[in-house]
Amino acid sequence: MNKLIRISAIAALMIATAPAFAEQGDGAHRPHDPGINARQHHQQERIEQGARSGELTRGETRKLEREERGIRKEEREYKADGKLTKDERKDLHEDLNKVSRDIHDEKHDAEKR
């Protein structure tokens, strides 16, 4: 009888703590990444500000917005299976870094609208 009580207690403990263990890991089951979304939003604001101020030409604005759309498309493809793996997240951040540099370069070149 004592053995049955211990087994029941262990089983109950395992059931109660299973959700906490399921949420841990490498983050592969977190399709929503607020860091990526915030960066995309901020970069879009930078593009819009550059277009308004004349720092970006129409062609530069179109090119940068096309790059941003490409990243959003890539993000949707990565998230299609409900997962955003560590490598996929890293790739998106690298792409966002490139676009961020492109925005800076285009806003600070000699071309003005």
Residue 49 lies in a domain: yes
Q: Is 112 exposed, middle or buried (0-12, 13-18, 19+ CB in 10 A)?
A: exposed
Evaluate whether residue 103 is within a structural domain. Answer: yes
User: Would you say residue 70 lies in a domain?
Assistant: yes
Total tally of structural domains belonging to the chain: 1
Residues 6+ apart with CB under 8 A from 83: 28, 29, 31
Residue, of 111 and 48, whose pLDDT is higher: 48
Q: Would 35 be classed as within a structural domain?
A: yes
The pLDDT, as a whole number, for residue 111 is 83
pLDDT digits (tens, 9 = 90+) for 37-90: 999 999 999 999 999 999 999 999 999 999 999 999 999 999 999 999 999 999
pLDDT above 60 for 28 = no
Per-residue model confidence (pLDDT) at position 47: 97
- Give every CB contact of residue 34 below 8 A, 6+ residues apart in sequence: none
Given this model, what pLDDT does residue 54 score?
95
Domain encompassing residue 98: 28-107
User: Is the confidence at residue 12, as pLDDT, over 50?
Assistant: yes
In a domain, 113, yes or no: no
Q: Does residue 3 lie in a domain region? A: no
